[in-house]
Every structure is written in structure tokens, then in C-alpha cells.
Amino acid sequence: MNTIIYKINKGKIDDKYIKKAGEYLKEGKLVSFPTETVYGLGADGLNERAVSNIYKAKGRPSDNPLILHVSKKEDVEKLVENISDIARICIDKFWPGPLTLIFKKSTLIPNIITGGLDTVAIRMPSNEIANKIIEAANTPIAAPSANTSGRPSPTSARHVEEDLLGKVDMIIDGGICDIGLESTVLDTTGKYPVILRPGKITKEELESFFPKVLEDKSILNPKEAPKSPGQKYTHYSPKAKMYLFLGSDEKVARSINKKLTKFKDKKVGILGTDENKDRYNLDGVMFISLGKKKDYDSIAKNLFKSLRKFDSENIEFILSEGFEDSELGNAIMNRMVKASGGNIIYVNEVMED
Ligand code: TXA
Ligand code: MG
């Protein structure tokens, strides 16, 4: 399949390309476009054939449901059975933005969207290009992250090309995604809101509107069975084997340096932070900084890009610093734990020899 690529400048959006993307979606074609979180792989969410092509292009298991994207708050109404008070507050306070809400679905929603569940995930993105494309298509747009299933999500059009060139009809290049991690997924159907996937909208932020916010147990524990179907699959994985080191900066650096001596003949990359760079023995080792240790926005924005960079350099082992799992750090650590396949080294417990 021939993939057309159009570049749209965020500051000066060319409606000609928006219109073209809308037409493609309406015709049942696949269009990848930027959102504020990551790039999405869009199709008409009410067209079953188009949606089935999403699963094919990504190589995604069919029991992993998709998020529907709308361009107006009112568009939710016909897609859901009812809007709970929790959902109403979230729509009011956080849309448009990086918060996906789970509702009881209406009969309009094809089964292929929800993987047979009786609920549906919906969000309204704040990225203006995304919003205009959805509006032009005039239908809810199903859009998972535009990566091959299991790979780190794409935060630039280049990443989408790496995975999906020749497999989608159009890629809209709208620059680098502001946030860099996927939306927070929140179940709004119960007595309390439940975070199924942590993201930019944090538990702490939600707690200023709700007396109690629950979290799915599997978020930071790879052994727990997740409630959100997609969370059970291997995710965000670089080709390299990744080790995640947790503990004080000094001990992490010491453990990483020790590991480096074991991997002497291998291609090794260190994923770290500005402050700690000088602690590592970087002779013959590739180092990528995610930013400053406390600058979670920068770390989130750079994480997937860095994992893909290691892949493009054929790195075999990634040794990574970890982060505190409060606020946005929680979403960062959720992705890192999965990217490492649960390969975590707690350095404070490592015996010194
Ligand atoms: O930021 C994002 O959410 C991006 C952009 C493109 O909008 N999209 C995205 O989609 O991350 P995807 O398909 O990669 O992840 C959707 C997540 C999966 O973990 C899936 O299991 C969960 O949402 N999900 C979808 N429908 C659900 C449902 N009815 N109940 C529980 N989880 C659901
Ligand atoms: Mg995804």
C-alpha cells in the first residue's frame, strides 16, 4: 500500500490536508495523526472493516479494545448508555485532554471496538490537528497508538513511519507530541473512579475532584492481572533487553557500572538523567539522558523516543535508572516496568561484595 505523508504546521494548520485526512477516514482508510499524547492510528470507529484493518496493521490481538476519539463533548452522548456523575465531572474538568473515560457502551458501538466488553473507552484530544481531523471525518475515530503492537508508542511521525509505512494510507506529520505518554484511562462506571492506565492526568489531580480514586493493582506490579485488557500484553518493548535499577542514585550508578563490566563485549546503552551522567563509566557505552531527575514532563516526553533510539543503534542491553512513582512518575514507571518486562533490580537489597 502506498502511504501518503502530509506535513502540517501546528502554528499554521493547512485545512487542505485536514480535509483530505477527513475524507480518507470517511472512506474507511487508515490515517495516522498526532495527538498531545502519542501518534494515533485512526479509522472510522463505526466502520467494522476499517477498524479490523487497524488490528491488522498493528498486529494487535483482537481482544484488546480501542479508544474512540471525539471532537466535541456532546458527541459522547450517542455512544454511551449513560454518563455517570463521575464521568460528567471528568468531561467538564479534563476534556479536551489526555484522559480516556470508560462508559457503558450504547448499541451503536461495534463489538470489534470493545473486544466484546459492554464498556467503551472515549477521549477528546486537545491537539488541534487531531481535533480538526476528527471533526472533518464527522464520525468517532478509533485510534490506538500508531506503533506495531508491543513496540514503544510513537511520539513523532518518523516513529510511525518506522512501524507502519506501507501499512496505512496516510500519515499526518504534525511534529513531536507534547506529552509523550498515552492518556490516563479511567473507569467511570463504578462508585469510585478507577485508574486502569496511569498517564498525564494523575491520581493526585483527580483527587482534587473525588473523595477517593482507586488504582488497578496491576499498574506497577507485572504479576497482577490487569482490568484493562491492553495492559496484560507485553508493551513498549525495545528490542534490547532492559534492566531497571531502583534505589538511591549512588547505589544505582554503582550497580550499573558493575553490570557494565559483565557486558564488556556487548552493545550497551544507559538510560539516565542529567545529574547522574558523570557517575557512569561511559567508555564504549551509549548514554541517553531523559532530562533532569525531577523533570517528569521531560522524562515522559523523551522516554519512548529514547527506547527507539537505542533500537536504531542496535543496542543489546539497556541499563536504566528508575523514578519515584508519585504523580507523573507513576505513569513513567508503569511504562518502564513493562518495557523491561518486569526485569527490576532493587539496588538497596543487592548484597555488596
Ligand atoms: O493517548 C492515548 O490514549 C492514545 C492516543 C492515540 O489517543 N491511544 C492509545 O490507545 O493509547 P491504545 O489502543 O494504544 O490503548 C488503549 C488502552 C488499552 O490499554 C486498552 O486495553 C484500554 O485502553 N481500553 C480500551 N477500551 C477499554 C475498555 N472498554 N475497558 C478497559 N480498558 C479499555
Ligand atoms: Mg498502545
Cβ of 255 less than 6 Å from ligand 1? no
Ligand nearest to the CA of 334: 1
CA dist 98 and 38 (Å) reads 10
Exposure of 106 in the CB half-sphere (CA atoms within 13 A)? 13
Q: Which atom of ligand 1 is nearest to the CA of 229?
A: 21
Give the confidence band of 103 by pLDDT, cuts at 50, 70, 90. very high
- Which residues face 40 on adjacent strands? 33, 145
For residue range 175-192, list pLDDT tens digits in order. Answer: 999 999 999 999 999 999
Q: Best substitution site from 185, 301, 335 to test ligand 1's pocket, by max atoms within 8 Å of Cβ?
A: 185
For residue range 114-165, list pLDDT tens digits in order. Answer: 999 999 999 999 999 999 999 999 999 999 999 999 999 999 999 999 999 9
Cβ of 185 less than 6 Å from ligand 1? yes
End-to-end CA distance of the chain: 57
Cβ of 197 less than 6 Å from ligand 1? yes
Q: How far away, in angstroms, is 69 Cα from ligand 2 center? A: 14
Give the confidence band of 350 by pLDDT, cuts at 50, 70, 90. low
DSSP for 44-64 reads ETT-HHHHHHHHHHHT--TTS
Give the confidence band of 211 by pLDDT, cuts at 50, 70, 90. very high
CA dist 213 and 83 (Å) reads 18
Ligand nearest to the CA of 109: 1
Is the CB of residue 264 less than 8 Å from the CB of residue 246?
A: no
Spatial strand order of the sheet with 214-215 comes to: 4-7, 170-173, 31-33, 40-44, 141-142, 67-69, 119-123, 99-104, 184-187, 194-197, 214-215
Ligand 1: which residue has its CA nearest to atom 6? 40
Q: How far away, in angstroms, is 98 Cα from ligand 1 center? A: 11
Cβ of 149 less than 6 Å from ligand 1? no
Q: Best substitution site from 147, 177, 182, 219 to test ligand 1's pocket, by max atoms within 8 Å of Cβ?
A: 182
pLDDT at 61 over 90: no
Give the confidence band of 348 by pLDDT, cuts at 50, 70, 90. confident
DSSP for 159-184 reads HHHHHHTTTSSEEEE----SS-SPPE
What mean pLDDT do residues 206-228 have?
Answer: 83
Q: How far away, in angstroms, is 172 Cα from ligand 2 center? A: 18
Q: Best substitution site from 37, 159, 228 to test ligand 1's pocket, by max atoms within 8 Å of Cβ?
A: 228
CA dist 347 and 256 (Å) reads 9
Cβ of 42 less than 6 Å from ligand 1? no
What mean pLDDT do residues 14-19 have?
Answer: 97
Q: Which atom of ligand 1 is nearest to the CA of 182?
A: 1
Run of H or E including 40? strand 40-44
Is the CB of residue 224 less than 8 Å from the CB of residue 58?
A: no
Triad 334, 335, 340: Cα angle to 5°:
105
Q: Which atom of ligand 1 is nearest to the CA of 183?
A: 1
Give the confidence band of 235 by pLDDT, cuts at 50, 70, 90. confident
CA dist 58 and 48 (Å) reads 16
- Grouping H, G, I as helix, E, B as strand and the rest as coil, residue 69 is strand
Cβ of 144 less than 6 Å from ligand 1? yes
**Pairing relation of β-strands 317-321 and 286-289?**
unpaired
Q: How far away, in angstroms, is 235 Cα from ligand 1 center? A: 12
**Pairing relation of β-strands 40-44 and 31-33?**
antiparallel
- Which residues face 6 on adjacent strands? 172
Q: Which atom of ligand 1 is nearest to the CA of 121?
A: 26
Is the CB of residue 164 less than 8 Å from the CB of residue 8?
A: no
φ, ψ for residue 138 (rounded to 5)? Answer: 55, 40
- Grouping H, G, I as helix, E, B as strand and the rest as coil, residue 11 is coil
CB atoms within 10 A of CB 258: 13
Q: How far away, in angstroms, is 249 Cα from ligand 1 center? A: 33
